[in-house]
Amino acid sequence: MSAKINLIAYNTILNKEVGRFVRIWIQTLLPPAISMTLYFVIFGNLIGPRIGTMSGYTYMDYIAPGIIMMAVINNSYANVVASFFSAKFQRHIEEMMVAPVPNFVILAGYITGGVARGLMVGVIVTIVALFFTDIDVKHPVITFAVVLLTSVLFSLGGLINGIYARKFDDISIIPAFILTPLIYLGGVFYSIKLLPDFWLMISTFNPILYMVNAFRYGILGISDIDITLAFVIIILFIITLTTLALYLLQKGTGVKT
């Protein structure tokens, strides 16, 4: 009985979340399509031929998985942080807090919403990529698992950011100052093998490196790092962030006074 009630609550949150980003598709689905097209045109088409090959692939082919991953990460995060913060800001988060919705259901609803947007944007960017390059997925299961888990991970990050955020600025600080640098330095546009030893070592502390490379491995079959390690890292992060998010929801941080 309780499972059924929880399922109804979960579906309600999920529908609301998906409805939200679809309703405002001009802000949520269109921009990544445009900016990622620009990446392909500028880095792939114009500059790429001058760079030559990377790890045996044309530059365009090499960056395509990274660009898809970048879009998935950004959009999963952005969806949850914006949605949760605006629910707090408009106070309709209270609708959920007064109802008997367990915290894990709230968490699951928001995370699935973030994953839905992340994957939808991933598909859109993949379609864009197909205009520029032939993507031939080498390991479909790994590809899907990596993109799904990464999307979950960054949706969790967005949720935690949304819980702590007090004003609109707070929802763009982490993406601008932490997420974007980590993504750009995470091997989206280059193989870390090109880096001097010191920076190569530093790069191995960047978790996004593992996700980008694991995804590239799924598609192209090449990677700078060990795939198993990548999965271990992603899953450890997911466990840690889930625990933290549940704790914060339980405490009512940012919501209850």
Q: How far is the CB of 100 from another protein (least distance, A)?
A: 4
Q: Measured from the CB atom, is 50 or 256 closer to another protein?
A: 256
- Let me know: does 66 contact 44? Beta carbons within 8 Å: no
Nearer to another protein, 23 or 193 (CB): 23
DSSP three-state, residue 169:
coil
Looking at the Cβ atoms of 227 and 255, the one nearer to another protein is 255
* Nearest distance in Å: CB 13, another protein: 8
Q: How many CB atoms lie within 10 A of CB 142?
A: 19
SS3 breakdown of the chain: % helix, strand, coil, rounded to 5? 80, 0, 20
DSSP 3-state assignment of 54? strand
CA angle 236, 82, 257 (to 5 degrees): 85
The residues that touch another protein, with contacts defined as CB under 8 A, are 2, 4-6, 8-9, 11-13, 15-16, 20, 23, 87, 90-92, 94-102, 252, 255-257
Query: Quick one: 83 or 242, whose CB is closer to another protein?
Result: 83
- 162/81 Cα distance (integer angstroms): 4
What minimum distance in Å lies between the beta carbon of 107 and another protein?
A: 14
Q: How far is the CB of 174 from another protein (least distance, A)?
A: 24
Considering the complex, state which of residue 58 and residue 86 has its C-beta at the smaller distance from another protein: 86
Burial class of residue 191 in the structure, from the number of CB atoms within 10 Å of its CB (0-12 exposed, 13-18 middle, 19+ buried): middle
In whole angstroms, the minimum distance from the beta carbon of 112 to another protein comes to 15
